[in-house]
Amino acid sequence: MAKNITLSADDFLLRRAREKARQENTSLNQLFRGWVKKYVNRDNIDAEYDALMENLMDVKAGRKFSRDEMNER
């Protein structure tokens, strides 16, 4: 169940934020919900990243790459 909350911010910033949200076809409410979700899950993301890096520690490229090979796109 969604709860209503009251926030306060500078009037000028709110006008700019609403305009930017309108240009992005969204609302400040949707943006805030997305921010809260990311904020709450930030610790999980950090832990997942650390676990991934731990798993990749044993990955070897097999050989050294030249500067040109590393910069190819």
> pLDDT tens digit string along 43-67?
788 888 888 999 888 888 788 888 9
Which pTM does this prediction carry?
Answer: 0.57
Model pLDDT, residue 70: 87
Contact 30, 38 (CB under 8 A): no
Helix axes 11-23, 28-56, angle to 10 degrees: 70
Residue 68: which pLDDT band, with cuts at 50, 70 and 90? very high
Give the residue from 6, 1, 48 showing the smallest Cα distance to 29.
6
Model pLDDT, residue 17: 96
Residue 18: which pLDDT band, with cuts at 50, 70 and 90? very high
Contact 41, 33 (CB under 8 A): no
Buried b (16+ CB within 10 A) or exposed e, 37-51: eeeeeeeeeeeeeee
